[in-house]
Amino acid sequence: MSKSLAKNNNSVIEAISCGVPVISFDSGSMSELLFFARDLLTPVSNKIFQEYREFNPILLKNKIEYAFKNFIHIKKRALENSNLYSFKEAGNKYIKIFNQLCLKDACQKL
């Protein structure tokens, strides 16, 4: 489960890549990351700036119970979508950006 207001979704991407079902509030980029499992997202207001009181823990509990009742189907779907995000590809992109920044910084010091 992710933190509803987390700014960094790496843990969600890691869970998806491992075939682990993710249950979360439908906030931030969660609906984009979990487009294949929107039934596991707990609704929140459509406001741009959401308030803590709009994150209903009872609704989240209901999603968790739903996931337990339908675990075989949900786990199968999670595994089917586990190849959406690649650690290797992401790592290579980070290295490329790092190298570009290092080269740029080194050139500026010359």
- 83-106 confidence digits (pLDDT tens): 888 778 878 888 888 888 887 666
| pLDDT tens track for 10-52 | 888 888 888 889 999 888 888 889 999 999 998 887 777 777 7
Q: With contact defined as beta carbons under 8 Å apart, do 34 and 24 qualify?
A: yes
Our separate counts of H helices and E strands in the chain read 5, 2
Give the model's confidence band at 70: pLDDT under 50 very low, under 70 low, under 90 confident, else very high: very high
pLDDT value at residue 5: 42
Residue 67 has pLDDT above 60, yes or no: yes
With a CB cutoff of 8 Å and minimum separation 6, the contacts of 56 are 42
Domain spans, the chain: 10-85
Please check the confidence at residue 8 and state whether its pLDDT lies above 90. no
